[in-house]
């Protein structure tokens, strides 16, 4: 029986999400470079800002 948290999620996707979360929690993406700003031509927005704008 699957957890209600994973109901409807394809089985192959669960280990990918857990793995991604684990490396981020371990600090893998703690430091960033300026590549994204260079590509965008501006400073990148935070994920929280993007989500808040999208749901407003």
Q: Give the pLDDT confidence score for residue 4 in this predicted structure.
A: 64
Contacts (Cβ under 8 Å, ≥6 apart) of 44: 36, 37
Residue 29: CA count within 13 A, CB half-sphere: 6
Question: Tens digits of per-residue pLDDT, 1-48?
Answer: 567 677 788 888 889 989 988 988 998 878 778 898 999 999 999 888
């Amino acid at each position: 029986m699957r957890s209600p948290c994973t109901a409807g999620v394809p089985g192959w996707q669960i280990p990918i999400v857990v793995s991604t979360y684990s490396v981020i929690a371990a600090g893998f993406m703690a430091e960033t470079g300026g590549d994204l700003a260079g590509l965008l031509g501006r400073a990148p927005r935070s994920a929280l800002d993007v989500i808040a704008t999208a749901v407003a």
